[in-house]
Amino acid sequence: MLRHPDEMEIELAEKLRGGNGIVNNRHLFKKEELLAKARLVAVTTLPSGASIGFHRHEKEEEIYYIISGKGQVVDEDQTKEVYPGCAMLTGNGRGHSIINTGDEPLVFLAVILLFS
């Protein structure tokens, strides 16, 4: 299945998970279209200063792959810088958050996989 950018659903979420600003999720595919056990496959864009608040992943894993921009993630209890090429895996009850600390949009691929 091929989907062009203009065919993808865009979801805007304000203060996602208690974060700041508006998050843009471009859904590459809807979960109903996937045969694998996934609930999110999206390119996420955070404007400067925007964030996704701290949250945990129970019975699932979330993968971030940073495409452009820079920011900081909280990985459970550690704060780390992220930039293009960085990948992050959170799951098994662990928590994370992400914030755009740069002047340009922070763009990343976000995939959530379900354990069962």
pLDDT for position 58: 95
Is the pLDDT assigned to residue 116 strictly greater than 90? no
Confirm if 111 and 38 have CB atoms less than 8 A apart: yes
The 8-class DSSP code of residue 76 comes to T
Average pLDDT, the chain: 97
pLDDT for position 13: 97
Instruction: Let me know if 35 is exposed, middle or buried by CB neighbors in 10 A (0-12, 13-18, 19+).
Output: exposed
Measured CA to CA, the distance from residue 55 to residue 72 in angstroms comes to: 15
pLDDT for position 43: 99
Q: Where are the domains of the chain?
A: 5-114
End-to-end Cα, the chain, rounded Å: 24
pLDDT for position 23: 98
Q: Give all strands (DSSP E) within 37-105, no chain letters.
A: 38-46, 51-56, 60-68, 71-75, 78-82, 87-91, 95-100
Measured CA to CA, the distance from residue 13 to residue 75 in angstroms comes to: 22
Q: What percent of the chain has pLDDT over 70?
A: 100
pLDDT for position 19: 98
| CATH T-level fold of 5-114 | Jelly Rolls (2.60.120)
pLDDT digits (tens, 9 = 90+) for 18-75: 999 999 999 999 989 998 999 999 999 999 999 999 999 999 999 999 999 999 999 9
> Which pTM does this prediction carry?
0.95
The 8-class DSSP code of residue 8 comes to S
Confirm if 85 and 68 have CB atoms less than 8 A apart: no
